[in-house]
Structure 1
Amino acid sequence: MTKEKIGFIGVGLMGHGMAKNILAKGWELTVMGHRNRAPVENLLSLGAKEAKTPREMAGAVDVVMLCVTGSVQVEAILDGPEGLRAAGRPLLVIDCSTSDPSVTLKLAEKLAPEGITLIDAPLGRTPAEAEAGTLDVMAGGDDETFARAEPILAAFSRRVIHTGPTGSGHTMKLLNNFLSLGYAALYSEALMIGAKTGIDGKTFDSVIRGGRMDCDFYRSFAGWFVERNPDAHKFTISNALKDVTYLASLGNAIGVANPVGTAVRNSYGLACGLGHGDAYVPRLADIVAEANAG
């Protein structure tokens, strides 16, 4: 069977590795760059083509992968005179961003009469796994569309999990990130209290690592406070705030109280308010410590 032509918008920290693996698995790929030309040039050297606008891309491919910041960016790519919709062609759009599920559902309903099918397939794990082709994917969509998308998603993943109808992938991603970002907030406060009472980070790590509270995310986070690895868990605090804000919006929409979510959001809101939005999440440990230095 002939493989579909794939477009990819958002070849940044996560997207570059994903796109590279799609190319390596034999799909014809067209990419669109943003500010950083380095990943685009690398993909072109590996055989990708380049489109200058979403509309141009939509005229050349069957499936468009999106790996951008969130719902605002997804809507901008779809709409406008140079957006995907302007090409007037049937498309499958796979949103791998961490987006607001309510926006995803509204977009899917709006696009369907135009022959554009939108599904959500957000990601678990980090840019290192994107490069290795071992991401986790949480995919929402009907059975037929999921079956069409799964081989493409499998090109850069170790697990592709069908979470249910469109929107469920983004919901599950918010829950996943709530857990990981909540852990990061807990680690940061625990480290601060430990330091205040004479327990340094290495002692803390020697107890947690290998014990019941150890996990892959903890080890990624500890890459900063133990090893001072500047690339430990390459996910920014501003993106963390966006995700826990989406979760708060979801909670409001369904009428539930999530007080722990509010506390976690406040941790990232404070860090961003202090000017640390571009720092990676493990730096939260330093920010909490500095805020309690007095």
Structure 2
Amino acid sequence: MKMSVDRESVGFIGVGFMGQGMARNLLDKGFALTVMGHRNRKPVEELVAAGAAEATSPRELAARSRVIFLCVTGSAQVESVLKGESGIIAGAQPGTVVVDCSTSDPTVTVRLAQELEAAGLHMADAPLGGTPTQAAQGKLSAMIGATPEVFARIKPACEAWAEKVVHIGPVGDGHKMKLLNNFLSMGYAAIYAEALTLGQKVGITPQTFDSVVRGGRMDCGFYQTFMQYVLERNRDAHKFTLANALKDVRYLESVANAAGIANPVGNAVKNSFAGAVANGKGEDYVPMLSDWIAGLNSVSLVKE
């Protein structure tokens, strides 16, 4: 594909569930792309076959890129790829923008942004809304924290993989909004799991429950992917791990503590996930929280 001369070269670190689809959309829409993988070689090889270049370190990737997307687990991983002899800061050209698409701790994001500015670089946070399927389709949403100038630079690349791009405010505000969004979704998950368990215990099967909720005011996209697992046992209906969900609600707790507000519902949601993760369920996906809560109450949500 012919490259557009007005598009900045892009680097992408973290081509997993979400990142692979995002990176492929950047390629398909004409961006020169360099990727770096981690443990799983398959998505890297597929992207290279489609026209991407591969870097062996964040430093090498940074030397080839003017806008760098990070789609990793959280703040600790972001800091790891930024710093050190082989990190992005060591290899980046002045003016390079690092865009953190992870769900990270906003206080860490602001600190890292200050460190990047001191090194002549820029940072934006652009956490994601959506699923791996939507990532592949280029239909994610992005909540962006950045200066107006940086936002204008990264918007074309973000629009390659997102159908909704919203400039929330300065650096850190994207991650704040993402944590609020994930509080809602993980809160739904905890409530669904408890409601389904209670229903089964008193004779209302998940199938009956769904026949009432689906299509009504309490229906939504998150409910549908959650229930696709509950009803059809489709493990891949919503590929977001319980360990990652727990990380996010812990970040939310940190933000609430820093803001000085009581968040009793947030703590209850956190404890639902913490119990499952502490008992070895961390790599299960979010809808599978329903099986954990049901098991605690000696019921099964599996259709007999």
Any unmatched runs of 5+ in structure 1? none
**When the two structures are superposed, what TM-score results if normalisation uses the length of structure 1?**
0.99
Superposed, which structure 2 residues align to 1:96-115 within 5 Å? 96-115=101-120
Superposed, which structure 2 residues align to 1:262-273 within 5 Å? 262-273=267-278
Structure 1, residues 13-49: CA drift from partner, whole Å, max 9, x if none? Answer: 0000000000000000000010000000000000000
Give the alignment partner of residue 286 of structure 1, picking from 275, 285, 291: 291
Tell me which residue corresponds to 2:217.
Answer: 212
Tell me which residue corresponds to 2:173.
Answer: 168
Superposed, which structure 2 residues align to 1:30-45 within 5 Å? 30-45=34-49
Superposed, which structure 2 residues align to 1:7-22 within 5 Å? 7-22=11-26
Any unmatched runs of 5+ in structure 2? 300-304
Give the alignment partner of residue 116 of structure 1, picking from 117, 121, 129: 121
Q: What letter corresponds to residue 52 of structure 1 in structure 2?
A: T
Tell me which residue corresponds to 1:51.
Answer: 55
**Structure 1 counterpart SS, 2:12:** strand
What is the CA–CA distance in structure 2 between the aligned matches of 1:160 and 1:59, rounded to whole Å? 27
What's the CA shift for 1:75?
0.1
**Structure 2 counterpart SS, 1:12:** coil
Of 13-22 and 139-148, more deviation after overlay is shown by: 139-148
Structure 1, residues 123-166: CA drift from partner, whole Å, max 9, x if none? Answer: 00110000000001000111111011111000001100110111
Tell me which residue corresponds to 1:95.
Answer: 100
What is the CA–CA distance in structure 2 between the aligned matches of 1:232 and 1:189, rounded to whole Å? 19
Superposed, which structure 2 residues align to 1:165-244 within 5 Å? 165-244=170-249
**Structure 1 counterpart SS, 2:165:** strand
**When the two structures are superposed, what TM-score results if normalisation uses the length of structure 2?**
0.96
CA contact (8 A) 1:237 1:281 kept: yes
**Structure 2 counterpart SS, 1:59:** helix
Q: What letter corresponds to residue 203 of structure 1 in structure 2?
A: T
Once the two structures are aligned, what percentage of the paired residues are identical? 57
Q: What letter corresponds to residue 112 of structure 2 in structure 1?
A: L
What is the CA–CA distance in structure 2 between the aligned matches of 1:60 and 1:285, rounded to whole Å? 45
What's the CA shift for 1:232?
1.2
What's the CA shift for 1:274?
1.1
Please state if 1:29 is matched with 2:57. no
What is the CA–CA distance in structure 2 between the aligned matches of 1:87 and 1:210, rounded to whole Å? 52
CA contact (8 A) 2:147 2:171 kept: yes
What is the CA–CA distance in structure 1 between the aligned matches of 2:42 and 2:26, rounded to whole Å? 18
What is the CA–CA distance in structure 1 between the aligned matches of 2:63 and 2:151, rounded to whole Å? 23
Superposed, which structure 2 residues align to 1:63-102 within 5 Å? 63-87=67-91, 89-90=93-94, 91-102=96-107
What is the CA–CA distance in structure 1 between the aligned matches of 2:235 and 2:241, rounded to whole Å? 12
User: Which runs of at least 4 in structure 1 moved beyond 4 Å after TM superposition?
Assistant: none
What is the CA–CA distance in structure 2 between the aligned matches of 1:216 and 1:73, rounded to whole Å? 29
Please state if 1:62 is matched with 2:66. yes
